[in-house]
Structure 1
Amino acid sequence: MTSTEFELTGGATYGMINATWPFATLRVNQNELELNISLLGNLYFRPEDVISITASGMSIFSSGIRITHKVKGYYSTVIFKSFTNTNSILQQIQQTGFLDNKERLPFYEDTAITAMQEKGGFAMKIPAAIAIAVIWNLLLLPNLVHSFQNSKVPFIGIHLGLSFMLLLCLTLLISEPFRGVILKEGRTLKHIKTFVLFMIFLSALMLGMSFLIPQF
């Protein structure tokens, strides 16, 4: 007997990228395994894509599972980390029927997963990511210039950079058309929401502190 779906929040390692709790979500059903690492990666696997799912040696504070796969566009290192016992995670995955599913997936499911795999794991469109990085660095340029001149460093660059990041994340949160410009096709708010909310909190906190800290 198999359960319908298993879902767990935790952290992840994807290639050289590390995400701590709660920025990764593992979701498994009979036909699909999804590891969502927010903007850093949305990975999709069919049963036939997965060679094995085994325990991965982690620190004493967390346990993990390693997903060994054969999807060409993904990094080979795919690890999900959680405070839940590893054996419990493996058992719940087993109960979904994913590992024992040898049947061919329905055409529409197979096609959808293949399309997501071909787009790669990174959730953002590459031109959008480059544009955001360029704007962020340009806004911080006044601080960089003053640092090299060993003169008084104004906070204007920091204020502009943090305001830009705050506005960007708020727009991603509330505007579906804007998400369409930034995210790859098939990526939705659910894939990035945790990361976006965290960045809103962090940007707002740092922006507020930058106004309170005296300038020297």
Structure 2
Amino acid sequence: PTLDAIDIDAAVSQLKETLQGLERQTTRNRLVVKDLTRQTLMNRFQAEERQGDSGIVQVRYDKLGSRNYHHTTFIGNSFVAVHDHSDTIDTCGMGEFIGILNGVEFRTRHNDYRLVMPSRTSKAWHAYDEIPTPPVPQSVLDKPNLENSLGEEQKPQPPRQEWKLDIWRRRTEDKMGEALQGIHQQICPTDPTKYPPPTELININTNPPSRAEIAKGIKSLK
């Protein structure tokens, strides 16, 4: 066919679709290679751990990314996926994980467990006591009704980072104050008798300079 008989727009559109298809296929191939690489590394890692060692292999899988090291593996956002469970009394949340104990691999389910303490009165197997709770603050007990008591308990507390910084600041100021006070006592003791007596007198010439000394000083300035 002649050049005039070819539909240039259709050819360009077909070429564009072909290139887009190749790009999508390349992206899929990259993902497959990435997954295979990660699987190979994890297999090698697990094989080396099964030599009588103990450790964490995989924690709750809840994080992805554009690179293999962005994924959750034996580390994540928290240690072994430990999380808060303030909606359940005396309960600490802990996600499922894969671990190895003395070379034996095991898997767990969701590990939410009660916070209890060993029994103080019984020696029976798995005997435990409830952990004693702190007393109710007096400011809560002083409220006239339940609504006011709940409001007192739910008062917003300063953010953890702020009170940690405040504690650090106070400790730093105390230490700096003690250090400065010690330096001041060394430089300017309150009791002048603490100065030790001189062991020898320094021979200092307090006479006016001679003409030769003045001439020597002027020459040294040139």
Same fold (TM over 0.5): no
Q: Over alpha carbons, which structure has the higher Rg?
A: 2
**Which category describes the TM-score, using the shorter chain as reference length?**
under 0.3
Structure number with greater CO (CA < 8 Å, separation at least 6) is 1
> Normalising by structure 2, what TM-score?
0.22
Question: Which protein is richer in strand relative to its size?
Answer: 1
